Amino acid sequence: MIAWPNETDERRAGFNVDIPHNGYAWWYIDAISDDGREGLTIIAFIGSVFSPYYAFARRRGPADPLDHCAINVALYHEAGKRWTMTERGRGRVARNANSFLIGPSDLGWDGKTLTINIRETGAPVPGRIEGRVRVTPVAITKDFFVLNPQGNHRWWPIAPRARVEVDLRRPNLSWRGEGYLDTNAGDEPIETGFRHWEWARGAMRDKTVILYEAERRDGSRVDLAVTFDAEGNKQEFTPPQLLPLPRSGWKVDRSARSEASVKLVRTLEDTPFYARSMVETTLLGEKVTLVHESLSLDRFRMPVVQAMLPFRMPRRR
């Protein structure tokens, strides 16, 4: 399932994928409840790309990605947001083909459903997130995308559409909704390959649309526009015009593709180098609400930003 598509046995999750020194892999889930009132994102990292500790280790020489693992959980609900991302070293990490343990939390794949057991504490506000999230893909795709000519940054939209079940004890939340699952991997730091990127996905009437665009470090671009149907079949299309969105509170640039106007519905995350938003746009003649991300890797590299990150990303040895 999460093993890259050239693997022969799809029953394996591929959490034991080889990652070179200074490299990374992450598994990303997002979901919106059926009533549109609740949302979440979960990202499990090997070689946490946004870790200030991993960046510092790389400055001293080749760094072990397994010594910099984390699970990031963000909840967007009526009572407010809750966010956690604690980094763990290799001594608190275990993995095999179908399971990935990071400190007190873990992910497991049984051949049909990805189950995430969460036991995390937020920072700098110490709110607990405890409970279980289950992600069941509607279909698993066979296509992955190489994001640069060297082939050392890759993206696979594993399940463009999935059913997600959220059952949390802390906070007390239970809901069901539509979700998404993908994975990225790279053989070098992400900021080495890219300066800025934006990504968005949205559920349409009978398919899922995904937009992926980035400015590489050499000035060239990635511009992907693709849909997947309920069976996981891919169809690329010519992306419409790129329209500006209001900059985030931290002045991160945002833009979105649309055949008409675009509307910023809500900013979910606003950090010095990253913004996650809900955006209303028109694609392939249909209005669609996108989960949208903007990432400035030039901002991420700034020493002042690196100095701020430990307050939200503590490390436990």
Domain boundaries, the chain: 24-316
Q: For residue 20, how many other CB atoms are within 10 A of its CB?
A: 14
Give the amino acid at 290.
Answer: L
- Cα–Cα distances (Å) from 189 to 101, 280, 298, 308, in that order, read 23, 32, 13, 19
Chain center to CA of 128: 21
Give the amino acid at 212.
Answer: Y
Give the amino acid at 60.
Answer: R
SS3 labels along the chain: CCCCCCCCCCCCCCCCCCCCCCCEEEEEEEEEECCCCCEEEEEEEECCCCCHHHHHHHHHCCCCHHHCEEEEEEEEECCEEEEEEEEECHHHEEECCCEEEECCEEEEECCCCEEEEEEEECCCCCCEEEEEEEEEECCCCCCCEECCCCCCEEEEEEEEEEEEEEEEEECCEEEEEEEEEEEEEECCCHHHHEEEEEEEEEECCCEEEEEEEEEECCCCEEEEEEEEECCCCEEECCCCCEEEECCCCCCCCEEEECCCCCEEEEEEEECCCEEEEEEEEEECCEEEEEEEEEEEHHHHHCHHHHHHHHHCCCEEC
Give the amino acid at 77.
Answer: H
Q: Over the chain (317 residues), what is each successive 10-residue block's mean pLDDT?
A: 53 82 97 94 98 96 98 89 96 95 97 96 90 96 92 95 97 96 96 96 96 96 96 95 96 96 95 96 97 97 94 90
For position 79, what pLDDT does the model report? 72
CA distance 214 to 198: 6
Phi then psi for residue 91, to 5 deg, are: -70, -15
Tokens 């329209």: give the residue: 243
For position 10, what pLDDT does the model report? 52
Query: Which CATH code, of 3.30.300.30, 2.40.370.10, 3.30.70.20, 3.90.1150.10, is assigned to 24-316?
Result: 2.40.370.10
For position 4, what pLDDT does the model report? 61
For position 1, what pLDDT does the model report? 46
Which residues neighbour 304 within 8 Å (Cβ) at sequence distance 6 or greater? none
